[in-house]
Structures are given as structure tokens and as C-alpha cells.
Structure 1
Amino acid sequence: MAIIKQAQRQTLGQLIGANNPVVSVPDDSQRQYAWTKKEVDVFWSDIEKFNEARESGRESSSEYFIGPVVTITADSVQARSLLDGQQRITTSTILIAAIRDALWGMATAEGMSSANNIQRDYIARKSGRKDPIEYFLVLSLFDRDFFRDHIQDWSEITGKCPRIENPSRPSHRLILDAYNYFRAKIGNRLEAYPDAEDRLDYLDSLRECLINGLVFVEIQTPSSSDANEVFETINSRGKDLSTVDLVRNFLMEKSRSGLEKDRVNDAWRSLLDGFMRREEIEKFLRHFWVSKNGDVKSHSLYSIIRKELSGKFDKRPQVYSVGAFSAELEGAAGRYADLITSSTGHAEFDASLGEVRSMSADALYPLMLSASGVVNYSELQTLLDASISYYVRWTVVGRRESTLLEENLFSAAKEISNGASVEGVIRRILGWIPDDETFEADFREASIPKQSQSRYLLAKIEQYLRAEAEVHEEIALGDGKVFVEYVYPQKPAEGMRLEDHEAWVSRLGNLTLLAGKKNSNVSTLPYSDKGHLYSSSALLVSSQTEIEELWDETNQKWRIEGIEARQQRLAKIALNVWPSGTRWL
């Protein structure tokens, strides 16, 4: 059970500032800055409402409780190590910096003086000309330098931060987003005050609201193990901490030396630098675990990782260490980034990976991650092609329950990690692919309302038709180059609507591709007014699949029979585009 020294009420001004112990985020725990616009927007809205209530003079509005923070506080209380509350305190500091810069931007003596006071009292200061800067909030190594460069290292002469370091991690971009958001919001509020005195009063009121009005409960603990236990207990009841952060804290806790802790940090640098968005890191961690251990759901991932790895790390003698796991994680992160960005350097393989991305077929990534750890990318084309055929026939067109497909692919990934051959796994996948008769029947009835998937299906059919016709010139089929066209319109003209409109409008027989920019006005026209767009199109899926059968020229109406007939023709083509297991053998 965790030891808690004390829990006490603290205002923001009592947590950070010139007269308080420095608050630092330890390098061996916690996460990077993670608040998105959603959280920052809620924070700002709460602060504004609270500030307005304070100005009303109501005693009940004198304080705003923002939540607990967990610290490791030595007996001398010369410094605080922050284990929980980083997001709120960091965001508060960013808002204080935005107030500082708004004051400086007024270009008045009082405004500039107030800006200098805010910097010295609540962000950072130098005791003497040759003394180092003292930062009142010190972030962990992944964000520390960037936060100083863009928020804390502020010049009292120029009123600016150096801003030399470019944002290279998701957390860096979020820090800038939060700052820019606050500057814009403050700027909008100041426009309502044409008088300089009123502007100063508003900014001073906002500062006072933050420094003396925001209230935390600081839970002080004597050691990192106590703090981590409190930290995980608090975050198990909310969404304040991600699985990625919990796993890193756990690995730091289990590290037996400084060298192992460095190894964990090296792995986390790879994760932070290798992915553009935090969501990609979360997805990678799950897919990495699945690729080695089989299916596990996101909500239980951390508890399973902790249980499984604790058993291995605590064994005597130890045969699997934190360093070994971190090395595997780092190596896999690089390969995973190659896979999700289609940047392995092998043109055909990368094109197929692009298909996976366009379909959002995430279930294929653990298998490819596992296989890429044992053979070269150039040897994985057949495995990927078979997996794509399986996914298209089972999920995209067949609309079957995806759970079984995921279980199959995840178990195959685990088998490869445990030593099974890639060739053996390919044979298993070929046995799972629905046969031609089933696929053709599914395709003939398929309705695909998701445009990313219908674009993919039609684009692949287009590529097949071009190869068959020996049309060799390149044509861009990626996003933004072609659009999905509803031959029978989504919003037909009055009197032209089919009786069972919803059943037919997204049928594949009613969909085609056109190049260029979508013209919504043209889309609603009857066939007689837009048929020339299909017949003259350079895309064969539009010009050579008998789209004209969808329109009854004599009676000037849409033909359901035409949609069905065209879809049957597309189904025949699809058999060759996404082969069954027997066609691979």
C-alpha cells in the first residue's frame, strides 16, 4: 500500500513560482504533453466562466478545484517531482505565457512591466546576470528543451522566446497548438476593450484567476514507488493517462540499473520521433504486443503487459530484461512506421501497403510487423497480397463479422513470432479466403457507403482494366485525384427518385470514378445531361463498363436492372483482382 505523507490544498501560485520549490517531471516516469484542442478548449472555457464568476464577487466562486497532483517530495521540500498533474500544470503555464505576451504586445510601459513580472514570478528568472536561468516548471527530457525554447526562455528586452527548435514530436506540436489557441482567444477578448486600461484590467484579472484561484490537492509521497502506486490508482479511474505512458512508467519501475532506464528512454525517443500523431504510438504498442502474443483488446492491454512482463522480469535468474524488451520495441517501431507510411523502399510492396491504408485495414499490420521481423520486405509481397484478398472478400465486400478475421490474422502473427514459416502462414490464409462462388455472390449484392472503400475497389478494377487493355500511360488514382461518382444521384431531381433509394444509391453497380474535382451540381443531373462525362472519360471503369444501361432513354428514368447488370459485370472482374485461395496455388 502506498505511503502518503500528506494531502494539502495548493493554489497554482503555491505550486509554481519564484517562492516555491521547483516542480520537475522526472525523466524516468510520466508522459509528454498530450492535451489536444479538445482538452485545451474545455480548460479555457472553464477558466473564462470561473473568471467571470470571480468578478461577480460571489464568495462561492473564489476558487476553482482543478484536480489532484501527485508529487515525490523530500523531507527538506527543496524540490517536487511531479508524477501526476503534468498536463494541467503545463497547460496553466502555457496560458500564463500567453497572458505575458499579450501584455507585452500592448507596447505600454505598464503592460511591459507586468509581462516582466509574470515571467520572473511564475515562469523563469535569473538571480544575477551570470547566474543560470531557474525554471519553475521543468518538463521531462522529451519536451524540456522545446518547452524552454518556445515558452520559458523569454527575453525581457525583446519580449520574445528564441523559437529556434522546430517541433519534431507530437507533443511539441501540441504545445504550440495550445499556446496559439490561448493567444487567439485572449486576442479576441481584448478586441472588446478599446481602452488600454480595460485591457490591462482584463489581463490582470485573468492572471489573478489562474495564480490564486486555481486550486489543486497535492498528494505528497516519499518515494517513486509510492507515487507510482497512487498515480496508477488515480488514472485507472479516468482517461488522464494512456497505455503508452503507463507502460513506460512500468518499465522504469522494473529497470535494475541506470543503463536499463537509458534503454527505455532510447526506445521512447524512437516512438516519439517516428510517429506524427500520438494515436499512432498507441496503435503501434497494441499491434506490437499482438504480433508476438495474439489478440488483446485496447482496454486491457496495459494490465496484460504488466502481468506478463512482471513474470519475466522478476524471474531468478532473469532471462528476459527490460533492456531486451525495449530493444525489441525500438526495432519494431521503425518497421511499423515503414508499414503504415508505405515507405519500405520496395515499390510494389509499398503500393500494396497503400491499399491497406486506403481501406483502413489495420488488422493486417500485426501480421506484417511480425513477418518483417524475420524476412526482408521484398519477401513479403505474396503474404500481403493474400491478406488483402482475404480482407476484401471477407470484410469489405462480404461484410462478415471482422472478429474472426482478426483472430485468424493475429494468431498467424503470433505463430510467425514463435518460429512458424511465412510460407506455412500463407497457406493458412489462402484456406480462409472465401471461394469464388461466395465472393461473386457477395459482390453482386454489395453496397459500399464508405467512400474510401468504394474508391479503393473501383480504382483496383480500373488498374485491372487498363492492364488488360494494355493502356500503359500512368493515371493518378490516389486521394484527391479521382472521386467516387454516383451515377444515379444521391440527391435525385424531383420525380426521379427510385422507390427504394437507400438500397440502390451505394450499390457498386451505381458507382464509378471520374477524374478531377467533384462537381455536386453535375452529380444531381439525369443521365442524359451528364452521360458524356462517362463516355469521354479516360478512366475505363467509367467509359467501358456500360454505365448507359442505368438510364432508360425512352422513358427518361433510372433503371434498377441496369445497376444490377453492371454490378454483375464488375463482380466477374473482381474475381481476378482479388483471387481466391485456389488461384494462388
Structure 2
Amino acid sequence: MDAKDHPVISVLGDQRRFVVPIYQRQYSWREKRLEPFWEDVVAKADEALDGKPKFSHYMGALILAPGGDGFTIGATPRVQVVDGQQRLTTFQLFLAALREVGEELGVPGLRDAIANYLFVRPMSGDTDPDARFKLVPTPEDRAVFHLIIEGGLAAVRAKHPHMFFQNGKVIQRWAPLSVIALAFFAERIRTYVRSGLQDVDEDASAPTDEGANAPLRRLNALLEALLNHLKLVVITLAENDDAQVIFETLNSQAEPLLAMDLVRNNIFHRASGQGESAEALFETKWRPFDAPFWKADAPRAKPRRPRIDHFLSHALTAQTGEETSLRELYAEYRAFARPKGKPRFATVEAELEALTTFAPIYQTLEEEKGNDEALARLGVKLNVWEVSTAYPLVFKIATSAASPTIKAELYGLIYSYLVRRAICGLTPKNLNKTFARLVSVMLADGVSVETFARAFASQSGDAVRFPNDVELRAAVQRKPVYLLFPRKDRLADILWELECASRTKYSVSTPRPLYMSIEHIMPRSWTAHWPLPDGRLAPPDKLTGVDEAMAGAIAARDALIHTLGNLTLVTMPANAAASNSAVEAKKQWLAQSLLALNLAIVGQPNWDEIAIQARGAALADLAVGVWPAPPAVQPIS
């Protein structure tokens, strides 16, 4: 038996045919397996777009046995796939989907490049009708799978129209899993390519794909990721090896090792080798990580992994200022502990101390409670906004020598950054890169508000900049924030902070109720009870009998309906009761809420466009104080 690791390009680029034995199961990967596979490929593609990935990602084992039918002169060599046929099949389906999208976009040369990994060149001694296919699946899968490899979804639809809706979508009830997987990958690839074009449109200065080259670059990055940066451990059996025993051993039901398990083993192995007491270090430094808290999945982080894996990733970024790949966490840690082959720390004890110092900070952020009130409050906000990518920056700030006042101010600026960008409609993508960059700057220049401010002073691109007060004021007054926030709990968080800022010493300081609903003061369906400024009621469809003046008034009103000036918080029963009522009926419910936001509305004689604009301006004044911008400083040269 021979076992070696190989990139996918070496496996599929080999001039051999992979035959799945008849006794193996059919292709069985559904979306719950396809999605993680896609995420693995995209992670490497993104790294490839930014430069060469640091590590390859291992996709598991591939067990191959001799072909079983002897050697035929002049025929393409054959091997049996004892285990790993699901992965091999998925690789080929992904390549077929990549070819499909490439042809839709008219990308030259991609079809021929991919063909090398889907087909073999039949030799004179090949008599098998399927001799040109690289992979021969089980008989149940073979016909449709080879149809996919030959002609994609179009070929399948032409021969099996019952598997498709009239709009071309796959009917999952009738289509085999290979067809469903092909459609899944094709749709994901299209979205990935489109996102590259959107990045260009949003910010020409951002380090993303450029113009017409964006689709080609992204498609090539996906191909490079699959072929060059995914690896398999290929186990080649000899004639006398028992394939079934090896198969069962590798597929035992033992609980899989976490990345942190591998890290732990590596750490204590080195401790023993350096003459340090592994047992003492385990008891004093590591034992807390065995608690259930650390083994539970991080509830708001992606991908879904145990907290301890996410913690380790954040801890590495906090110490290096470099992004850490969660998928290659063990390799990342080894590279961190021994950069360029030399130990980073003098002792393993010092290495563990550097790691464990972040543990209480992580627990405070995750559990939203602890002795540090400012840190716990930030944990609440980061969990609402699901931005655990800020944790490395928080780690760096929390463990610094900065005063509690400075730390609290920096925590507030992190929260402000998230809220300002969201209200201004700026992309939440690339936050991981932004926060890693901030860590790097603070590692170099120290932890301070000035360092934080300088890190943003020269950043003008939409993908990263910190919106200023002028932009925030304009967004509060004009942006349809209700439509910008798919997650309404985040909009409710914004409104509650504005509620707290609206209170005076005479206000009732009630804590935030558990269940609050966002209410449009002037309802979205306003035509029945809310006259236009000239006193006329608009028709329900806003079209029938509408003259030019009314059309302009309708458009002006609709532009304000979803702005913050027209939004407030009420209890859920009040929301249902108020519904599309006239203004006087709504005021009764708003008055009963006892919220400062709503009492100000009740005091208005009318609620119209002028009132909405005035309230929007007032909320904008509050917003620049609730979510401050960094102080003005000179950019880092």
C-alpha cells in the first residue's frame, strides 16, 4: 500500500480511468454536503485572487485498487475507486458547472482546459463505449452522469425534459442528485462571478476584479482553487491488500478530531521534547478549554464550527495582524508557532500564555456578560450584527496597556463603524480584511484612538471607509433603511439606541422590552387614511386617475416612507393594532408605549412629509453622537 498527498490536478490530470465498482453506492451528496464543498473552493479562490494561498486544503482520502480486469496492451489504464467516489464525482460535476457558466459568458479556452480533467484520450485497445470518460460511476448513475459530462444541463434537459420546469429550473423531486448538484454549482458560480462585477461597480478603487476581466478572473480562480489548492490523500493498494478492511478502518464512526485537538497534540508534543512538563502545562493552561462552552458550535459565526476553533483563528490574527484561514487552522497554527522554522516563543509555556490570555475576552463577547461592562456591551452589539470577525481587533485592544476609558472609546468606534456603514448602505463584505488590517496597524503603532483614526484617514473606497458625519446625516434623512435591513433586529437595535439618546432626565427610563416591533408611523399602505399635502386621497394603485401633480406628491411621500424619520418602535400587539390606521388612532398606541421616540411624535399636530423630514433631521443630529466618527487626523504615510 502506498499513501501520498496529491493536488486534484495530479489526480484528474492523470491519464487513467477511475471506475467505481458495481457494489458501491450511488452518488449521494445533497446540499448539506455541497455547500461546505463550495465554501472550501470559494475560500481558496478568494485567496488566489489576492495572491497565492498559503496552504492547500485537504479534502479527505481517495483509495484506489488495481483495475481488476488485468492489463490490456493499447488500452487506457483503469483503477477501481474503493473509497472517495463521492468526492471524485463532485469534482467532475463542479468542473462541468464551471464549463457551463464559462460558455454562457463566452469565456474563450475554458472548455478545452476543463476537458483535460473530464475526459481521457481513448487508445486503440479501448473497446468500452465509455472509454473517453475519466470517471465511470455505478451503472445507476452512469447514463445521466456521462450525459452531464458530455453536454451539461442542456443535454440532460433535451433527453429528460420531465426533470425540469418550463423556466429551466431543475425539479428536485424527479432529477437525480448529480443533476441537482450540477445546477447547484452553476448557480453558485454565476452568483460568484456577478459579485465580482458588483465589486467593480461599487468601488473602482477596491482591490477586486476589474471591469470586463472580472468574470474570467473569477472563473479561473475557481478552476485554480479546485485543481491546485485542494488536495487528496491518495492511497494506492497493492494486489494483496484487503480493500474492504482498509475502507472500514478509514470510515470508522469515531468522532472526528477538531483542529484544536491537532493543535493541542502538537503543543504538548513540543513541550515534552523541550523538557517542559506537559502534564503541568495541561492542568494550569489548557484544562479550561475542555469545558463544554468551548466544544459547542459558535452560534453566530460562519462556517459552523466549535467555538474553540473560531477562538484559535481569532487569537492568531490578534497576534499577527494577518487573516487566518479557519479551514487550514492546524497548518496556520504550525506556521504561527514556528515562522520560517524557528520558534516564535522561547518556551511552550509562553506560547500557551499568549494564547490563553484571550480566553476570558472571548467568553465575555460570546456570553455578553462579565466584569468589563464596555466589553460585554460590545459583545451584545457584535452578536446582534453577527460580526465575530471583529474579535481579533477586540482581543488586541482588550489585552493592551491602554486605559479602560480608551478601550471603551475604541469599542464604541467599532460599533459605530458597523452601524454607519449599514445606514449608509455600504457593503458588509471584507470586514475580516478590514479588522485584520487594523490589528496589523495597532501591532505596529500601538493601541490608541489616534492609531484607529489614522488607519481610516486614507481609506476612501466604499469597501472599507468609515462614513463621515455629513454622509451619515444624509443617509438617516434619505436612505430607505427599512428596505436596506433584511435583519430587522439590527434596525431595531439602531432605533433603541436612538430612543435612549432621546431621553431626558424627565423620561421614564424603562429597560428594553424583550419583544419590540418596527412600526411605520405613516403606514406603507397609506392611501386610504392619509391625504396628500393638497388634501386629496391617492387611489389604492397610485395610478388610476393620477395627474402630474399627484404623481409627484406620491413619489415624494413614498421616498420618505422607509426612512428613519418615519420609523419607530412599539410592542408587537401595538403594531398589529395600529396597522394602517389614521394618524389619530396611531397616536393613542404610540402614547401608551411611554418611549421618548414616540412621545415626540404624539406631540406633532400633523404627521406628513414635513414632519417626517423634521424628525429625520433630529434623528440625524442624535445619530452622529450615538455613533461617533474617529477624530480627524493625518493619514498614515
**What TM-score comes out, normalization by structure 1 length?**
0.50
Cα distance, 1:376 vs. partner?
6.8
Structure 1, unaligned stretches of length 5 or more? 5-37, 40-66, 71-214, 222-229, 552-558
User: 470, 474, 487: which one pairs with 1:437?
Assistant: 470
Corresponding residue for residue 390 of structure 1: 417
Q: Deviations over 1:373-397 (max 9, x none)?
A: 123772411111222222222x221
Q: How does 1:309-324 map to 2 (within 5 A)?
A: 309=336, 311-312=338-339, 314-315=341-342, 319-324=345-350
Cα distance, 1:458 vs. partner?
1.0
- With over 3 angstroms needed to count, the CA separation of the structure-2 counterparts of 1:497 and 1:329, relative to structure 1, is farther
Cα distance, 1:321 vs. partner?
4.8
Corresponding residue for residue 278 of structure 1: 297
Corresponding residue for residue 205 of structure 1: none
| Structure 2 counterpart of 1:385, one-letter code | G
Is 305-314 or 498-507 further displaced after alignment? 498-507
2:613 is the alignment partner of 1:567 = no
- With over 3 angstroms needed to count, the CA separation of the structure-2 counterparts of 1:217 and 1:510, relative to structure 1, is farther
2:627 is the alignment partner of 1:578 = yes
Corresponding residue for residue 464 of structure 1: 501
| Structure 2 counterpart of 1:278, one-letter code | D
- With over 3 angstroms needed to count, the CA separation of the structure-2 counterparts of 1:521 and 1:515, relative to structure 1, is closer
2:598 is the alignment partner of 1:542 = yes
Cα distance, 1:241 vs. partner?
5.8
Q: How many residues are aligned here?
A: 356
Q: Deviations over 1:82-110 (max 9, x none)?
A: xxxxxxxxxxxxxxxxxxxxxxxxxxxxx
| Structure 2 counterpart of 1:535, one-letter code | A
Is 526-535 or 503-512 further displaced after alignment? 503-512
Cα distance, 1:424 vs. partner?
4.1
CA contact (8 A) 1:312 1:319 kept: no
CA contact (8 A) 2:318 2:395 kept: yes
Distance 2:508 2:264 in 1: 50
User: 369, 374, 378: which one pairs with 1:343?
Assistant: 369
Corresponding residue for residue 510 of structure 1: 566
Cα distance, 1:520 vs. partner?
2.9
2:358 is the alignment partner of 1:362 = no
User: 366, 374, 378: which one pairs with 2:404?
Assistant: 378
User: 324, 332, 347: which one pairs with 1:305?
Assistant: 332
Distance 2:361 2:277 in 1: 24
Q: How does 1:114-193 map to 2 (within 5 A)?
A: none
Q: How does 1:54-69 map to 2 (within 5 A)?
A: none
User: 505, 511, 514: which one pairs with 1:476?
Assistant: 511
- With over 3 angstroms needed to count, the CA separation of the structure-2 counterparts of 1:296 and 1:392, relative to structure 1, is same
Distance 1:218 1:396 in 2: 53
CA contact (8 A) 1:312 1:320 kept: no
| Structure 2 counterpart of 1:288, one-letter code | A
Q: Deviations over 1:484-539 (max 9, x none)?
A: 22334467798767788997664323321124756535435444433211134310
CA contact (8 A) 1:459 1:477 kept: yes
- With over 3 angstroms needed to count, the CA separation of the structure-2 counterparts of 1:505 and 1:314, relative to structure 1, is same
CA contact (8 A) 1:483 1:515 kept: yes
Distance 1:503 1:276 in 2: 48
2:332 is the alignment partner of 1:332 = no
2:453 is the alignment partner of 1:420 = no
Cα distance, 1:369 vs. partner?
0.8
- With over 3 angstroms needed to count, the CA separation of the structure-2 counterparts of 1:508 and 1:550, relative to structure 1, is farther
CA contact (8 A) 1:69 1:217 kept: no
Cα distance, 1:419 vs. partner?
6.7
| Structure 2 counterpart of 1:460, one-letter code | E
Q: Secondary structure at the match of 2:519?
A: strand
**What TM-score comes out, normalization by structure 2 length?**
0.46
2:554 is the alignment partner of 1:520 = no
CA contact (8 A) 2:364 2:370 kept: yes
CA contact (8 A) 1:512 1:542 kept: yes
Cα distance, 1:413 vs. partner?
2.0
Distance 1:425 1:583 in 2: 11
Distance 2:469 2:579 in 1: 34
Q: Secondary structure at the match of 2:569?
A: strand
Structure 2, unaligned stretches of length 5 or more? 5-31, 34-59, 64-242, 299-306, 458-464, 529-538, 543-553
